[in-house]
Amino acid sequence: MTPRFRRESAIQRDLLTYLRPPVPQLARQVSEQARPGLVEVGHSYAGRPAAEVLVALEHAVRSVGGEPDRAALTEFAELIEAGENPFT
């Protein structure tokens, strides 16, 4: 008998996010501080041109004092242009 694996639903993922205990070291990381802004860009810029999305992603990272990784953000911008949100 083959084992069955269920894919994690969005609601399960959201609940795990809320139930995860706060970790001060994690909260200080720029990536965690930028996460809400990146999620918002992913939602509000879905389907827009990658160049436009890239500018918004860079702004989200800079707004929390981070230095954007242009190569990584370019990949994310292409996914968002295709309608996917890599941050959710």
Residue 35 located in a structural domain: yes
pLDDT tens per residue across span 33-80: 999 999 999 999 999 999 999 999 999 999 999 999 999 999 999 999
Q: What is the pLDDT of residue 3?
A: 52
Q: What is the pLDDT of residue 4?
A: 55
Residue 81 located in a structural domain: yes
- Give the residue numbers spanning the domain of 66: 29-88
User: What's the CA angle centered on 31, arms 87 and 33, to 5 degrees?
Assistant: 95
Residue 8 located in a structural domain: no
Residue 18 located in a structural domain: no
Residue 73 located in a structural domain: yes
Contact 76, 57 (CB under 8 A): yes
Q: What is the pLDDT of residue 21?
A: 74
Residue 54 located in a structural domain: yes
Contact 47, 81 (CB under 8 A): yes
> What domain count does the chain have?
1
- Give 6's pLDDT tier (boundaries 50, 70, 90): low
